[in-house]
Amino acid sequence: MPVKSHPILPDALDPWIARLRMRSSLTAEEIAAIRALPGEFSVYDGNRDFVRLGERTHHCCIVVSGLAGRFDQTASGARQITALHIPGDAADLHSAPLPEASSALQSLTRTTILRVSHDDVRALVARYPAVAMAFWRDCEVDAAILSKWTLNIGRASAKQRVAHLLCELAMRFAIIGEDRDDFTLPATQAHLGDVVGLTNVHINRTLRALAEERLAVVRGGRVEIRDWQALVDEADFDPRYLHLPPERVR
C-alpha cells in the first residue's frame, strides 16, 4: 500500500525517456507517443514490496525518485538483490512480455514509482516498431548489468565486489546528473551485502578497508569516491557493459 497515489504528471516520464534516448534513436512522434502513456504514480516508504514474488502484474513500474531493488531469496531466508534501480530506470519493463514476477520489487528508501499498464505498453510497441526495439534494448542493458554482477559475485573477492558496485553506481548516478564522486545511496550495509552476496558483517569490514586505503568512503547513505582510478583498478571495472554512448564514458 503506497503512501499516496496521483495521476501522472506530464513530465514524470522524462528521466526514463532520457535513458531510452541515450541508447536508441527515436523520432519526435515516437517520443511524444511514449510521453503520452497514461499512468499513475505512488510513493512508498522504505522496505515496501511494490511487486510481490509470483504475482501476475498488469503494470510496468518506473522509478521516478528514490531507490528500488529486485529481491529474491532462498528457502532458508537468505536474500539476494539482483538489480538496483535508480531514478529513470524501468524496474520491470520486462513484465510487459513476461507478466509473472519471478522476483519481488522493493523500495530501499522512500521511493516514487510510476505505473504504466501493460496494455498501453503493448499497444504502443505494436504501433511503433522502433519503440519496441528501444524497450527491448532497455531491458537488455539491465540484463548485461546482471550478467556482470554474476561474474562479480561468482569470481571476485569481497573488496573487488564492493569496489565494482561502487564504480557502477557512481557511473549510473553521474549519468542522471549526480556527482560521480559524491552521491547519495540510501542503502544499508545489509542491502549492499545482499547485492554482492556477502554478509552485513563482512560488508562492514570491506567498507572499512576501502576507506582505510582511501579508495572510497560509504557512510550514512552517502558514497564519496576518494580515488576513482584506484577504485576502478581494484574492481577491474570496464564500463562497456553499461552500453553507454561514447561521449558519456570518461
Partner DNA sequence: CGCCGTATTGAACAAATTCAAGATCTGTGG
Partner DNA sequence: CCACAGATCTTGAATTTGTTCAATACGGCG
70 scored as a contact of a second copy (CB under 8 A): yes
Identify the residue whose cell numbers are 520491470.
92
148 scored as a contact of a second copy (CB under 8 A): yes
Which residue from 96, 116, 125, 207 is in contact with DNA, where contact means CB under 7 A? 207
CA-based radius of gyration for the chain: 18
36 scored as a contact of a second copy (CB under 8 A): no
Binding-site partner at residue 184 among DNA, a second copy, none, CB < 5 to 8 Å by type? none
Please tell me the distance from the alpha carbon of residue 10 to that of residue 13, in angstroms, as a whole number.
Answer: 8
Binding-site partner at residue 125 among DNA, a second copy, none, CB < 5 to 8 Å by type? a second copy
Comparison of 125 and 207: residue with beta carbon closer to DNA: 207
Comparison of 59 and 112: residue with beta carbon closer to a second copy: 59
Which residue from 42, 57, 80, 109 is in contact with a second copy, where contact means CB under 8 A? 80
Please tell me the distance from the alpha carbon of residue 149 to that of residue 64, in angstroms, as a whole number.
Answer: 24
Instruction: State the Cα angle at 43 between 146 and 111, rounded to 5°.
Output: 35
DSSP assignment string, 128-171: -HHHHHHHHHHHHHHHHHHHHHHHHHHHS-HHHHHHHHHHHHHH
Find all residues with CB under 8 Å of 41, minimum gap 6, and list them: 5, 6, 8, 9, 12, 64, 112, 113, 114, 115
Binding-site residue total for DNA (CB under 7 A)? 19
Site residues, a second copy (CB under 8 A): 54, 70, 72-76, 78-80, 82-83, 94, 96-98, 100, 102-103, 122, 125-127, 129, 132-133, 135-137, 139-144, 146-151, 153-156, 160, 196-197, 236, 240-241, 243
